[in-house]
Structure 1
Amino acid sequence: MNANSKLKRMWSDKVLYLMLLPAIAYFVIFHVWPIIGMKLAFYEYRILGDNVYVGFKYFKDLFSTPIFSKVLANTLIISAMKMFLIFPFPILFALMLNEFINGKFRKAVQVVSYLPHFLSWVVIAGVWFEFLSPSTGAVSSLFKVFGLPSHDFLTDKDSIRWVLVASEAWRSIGWDSIIFLAAIMGVSKSLYEAAYVDGANRWHIVTRIVLPHLYIPMVTIFILNVGFIMNAGLDQVLNFTNDAVNSQIDIIDTYVYRVGLLNGQYSFATAANLFKSVIGVILVLSTHFISKKLTSKGAW
């Protein structure tokens, strides 16, 4: 297709491109343009006058700061827990939805499961505070039924990371299942019919037909999740943190927020955020390369 035919086709679909403009503007303003500001990691920020180039000074300060190793470990642990423990559930949920015969009931379940995704972490945290309240929460009431002592999960260092994982799962499983359910809906009906003629049961249908069609979206989502392993959830952690558990869930994003915005060390915070972003890009490219080598399939 030459340039003229491409331009003609774009002009014929101009309405669709106009609909894309708000999304493109959003990504340019909030994701592309800020990349230019990353150069602040190599400069000493000054309110008055020009910034002074200092090279890798702030990176050296970052890696020599004792607390950074702790927040890095917290980030990796929390992200890995979310990625590996939650990843199978959207797939299982999509498979379950596909098995529902009653279409109205399936749609109702979908709507209910999608709703938490549209709630802010302030609202979600409030729901979980009530749910896990040691005095009036549902979990505490259940413990009393079985004669067990109440437990405050939100101030327990050993439990708080599991609370983050559980609340993230509650918020995202339904929404994340959309891409897998769409892939299942795209399976040709003729494959099902041929399988039934050959005497296949539902287990054979799921394992031999449905799951192979989910392979590519599974690989793609996993690679993208690896790229976000340095993002453990700023909004979530800010709403669930307290003095009792802060040492267990203080992550890079909260550290950058505290040092950069609250303490005004903009160059130092930019260096920390740039380090996190570079690691994320390296992980995505590495995972994609390994996946292409092992399975001939990657994220693109």
Structure 2
Amino acid sequence: MRQDPFGDQGRPRRRGRGGLRLWVLLLFAGYAVYYWVSNRSTDPYTGETVLIDKSITPEQESVLGLQAYREILAQEPALAADAQISRQVREIAQRLIAKVPQVEDALAAEHGMQAPHVERAFDWEVNVLQSDQVNAFCLPGGKIAVYTGLVPVAQNADAMAVVMGHEISHALLRHGAQRMSEQKLAQLGQMAGAMSGMDQQQLQAVMAVYGYGRALPYARKQETQADEMGLMLAAAACFDPQAAVPLWQRMQQTGSGGQPEFASTHPDPGTRIENLQAWMPKAMRYRARSCTASGTQ
């Protein structure tokens, strides 16, 4: 067979494809770095560097929070405002909300910073929802809900205040905006992978690594931050912060936190209890500064 005098020169070359993939990845990586650097800031309450997209304002968060709140209430109607548990939960919320500025200032001062006081723009609302869920939440803008399933586990106002303080802290720490910013980074990674020619299996593997290596640890850190701030808030509102430990022991008995910690968005109940015990002396100091000897406001 006669050899082709031009060898493989007549065949289409594919060398450029690999180079193009590399350039795509480099461009996306460069933009991701730029996005992180230009949108990072120091959280005044924790002293840690956080990512919050500067285009996401607290006012926008509140609008999104209100929209989500209305959707939830449309599906899970609230108990009557004059129901006993509704009144009790609202009274706890009022005590916590009254101490928000004081706790924010104290935590920010620990890091030599000033509190931004995003709560000044909040339109607080508190409802109790009939559900077996052992849960509560506070959306951006101050929209709070407590599920009736939490009541028998909390057992008392002190423990309920710890849970509600935790949920309020998520809104004060702007964890919603942080999650949206982190999601944008993840989306950039997915786009980079897709445009560089990765198949679906490869993309899933990369996102799994991102989830276990970044997203889940980040979510657990937010929960820990809310645990600490919420404990200080409950203490400053003259609730007994020591109720937090038996609360989480009861939570553990209900099966909460059944997943291994590394695969969960929340710390293991045992980890939370250790943290709460470590923070307890600080919480008792907050309580002593805010409350009379009788433990009331």
Given the two structures, how large is their TM-score scaled by the length of structure 2? 0.30
Query: Comparing both structures, which one devotes a greater share of its residues to strand?
Result: 2
Query: Comparing both structures, which one devotes a greater share of its residues to helix?
Result: 1
Query: Which gives a bigger RCO, structure 1 or 2 (Cα 8 Å, sep 6+)?
Result: 1
